[in-house]
Amino acid sequence: MRQSYLTEPLVMLATVLQWLALATLAGALVGTGCSAFLRILFATSDHIYAAPLWVQMAVLPIGGLANGLLLQYGKRLNRTGLKDSVIIAVNDQHGALPWKTLWVKPVATLITLGCGGSAGKEGPCSHLGGSIASGLGELLGLNSELRRRMVACGVSAGFAAVFGTPIAGALYGVEMLAIGRIRHNFLFPAIVASVTSYEVSRFWGVPYPRIDVSFVGDFTELLFLKTVAIGILCGAVAWVFIELLHGSRRLFTRLRDRLHIPEPLMPAIGGVVLAGLILVIPYDYMGLSLPLMDRALQGEPMPYLGFLWKALLVAVTLGSGFYGGLITEQFVMGAVVGGAFAHLLALQPALGAAVGLVAVVAAASNTPIAAILMGVELLGGDSTLYVAGACIAAYLIVGHRSVYPEQQIAATKSSWMTARADVLVSEEKVRLSREVVRWWHDRRPGAPPVPPDPPDDKL
């Protein structure tokens, strides 16, 4: 039977109305939950730095032990067999997340930041948002495809509630799922949920300070190339950060296995390491380090290797088993390195810090479009041309590595590289394409011929 010309428009209208209802409800719930978490976080974090040094050093191992015991309890409480990663929930678990443990990671983050650990605040909000949205989808009896979208829009809503960037938050919740792929059918629910969560968070009094950096003068090709150079530098910083983070996790895991240390004790050991590091690293790099980022954005001089101190502290904190987010720390590293190296390119330090602020996020999280929009929402529309080239350059320079090991590789970033599609970035080794290998062999004198490509089913 021939369909009416009105069938498709009516179905699309029904889809829009469906997601206006579902995503608005999810965004309101996530905004309320994240606002409550953020208010508690603002009331409890940063107080430790007013205490004597010996108190700060003593509290870190105690906080690590509390973190380890809490996360271990969460694992035992989760009897569903589901992993509590929002990326895995969307890609592999049909939008399902363990409901009973949604509070564990937010509380663990409060402990981490309360005792002086170096981590971010958006991770627990994204987890909280994804878990609330997943539970809502289960309560409403939605099918697996709709629940996937619910989780993604819950993550977006949590991100928007933290940073006050609803459009960037919507893109982040979708773009972070895989390198090289954006699921456009997720975008409308994510935007609706993010905008709703942002407005609800503002209603509950969550503050969103605007960053005041002046982008003045005519934008030239030379200035564009300078911002791209900042992006290349930020991509290298992201590369160092990712390697430190994953290397720290491997080191602590090897230590645990070799010495048969109970897993809950590992964050306590990490706390001991952090206690030693704060003897040589300024306290500005502990915790969220937002004052340090603010000073960089105001144009104050930054040390060239300041980003390395921050990267090391985050790597030890999260690598040993503390829980916390990663984006805030990427903001700090980007602002510090951009402010430190800007004068070498004849740029204002504040401008370099502003560009670096989002460029490291684009690279380390593999979310360049979200990072560009984040720059626009945080810095104003005049920043668009400044941050766009930097974010894309940083995204390319970091290669096929990520702070999120659950992220999938949907497409490689260069035609000279190849990888299996839809494989976790932590499990796939990206390699040179056969065309590049063959070209190289053909130009080597006396090189043996390159064997023919295997059949497709052997790739």
Each residue of 116-161: pLDDT tens digit?
Answer: 899 988 889 999 999 999 999 999 999 999 999 999 999 999 999 9
Place of tokens 């990671």: 105
Both structure tokens of 249? 């996790």
> What's the N-to-C CA distance of the chain in angstroms?
43
Q: What is the mean pLDDT of residues 329-349?
A: 95
Q: Bridge partners of 417?
A: 432
Both structure tokens of 75? 């694992």
Element (H, E) at 432: strand 431-432
Say how many C-beta atoms besides its own lie within 10 A of residue 143's C-beta: 10
Asked if pLDDT for residue 242 goes beyond 90, the answer is yes
- Alpha carbons 360 and 86: distance in angstroms, whole number: 22
- Alpha carbons 319 and 316: distance in angstroms, whole number: 5
Give all domains of the chain, ordered by start, each with its CATH number.
7-203 (1.10.3080.10), 221-397 (1.10.3080.10), 408-458 (no CATH)
Asked if pLDDT for residue 49 goes beyond 90, the answer is no
Query: Nearest-CA neighbor of 34 among 175, 210, 204, 173?
Result: 204
pLDDT score for 382: 86
pLDDT class of 380 with cuts at 50, 70, 90: confident
Least confident of 171-185, 212-226, 234-248, 343-357: 212-226
What is the Cα 431 distance to its own chain's centre? 25
Asked if pLDDT for residue 459 goes beyond 50, the answer is no
- Alpha carbons 106 and 393: distance in angstroms, whole number: 33
Of residues 118 and 453, more confidently modeled: 118
- Alpha carbons 233 and 243: distance in angstroms, whole number: 16
Asked if pLDDT for residue 356 goes beyond 50, the answer is yes
Least confident of 257-266, 304-313, 385-394, 411-420: 411-420
The per-residue pLDDT of the chain, averaged, comes to 90
- Alpha carbons 407 and 411: distance in angstroms, whole number: 12
Both structure tokens of 214? 């002046």
Asked if pLDDT for residue 452 goes beyond 60, the answer is no
Asked if pLDDT for residue 1 goes beyond 50, the answer is no
Asked if pLDDT for residue 113 goes beyond 80, the answer is yes
CB of 377 closer than 8 Å to CB of 165: yes
CB of 379 closer than 8 Å to CB of 395: no
Q: What is the mean pLDDT of residues 241-270?
A: 95
CB of 357 closer than 8 Å to CB of 329: no
Q: What length is written for the chain? A: 459
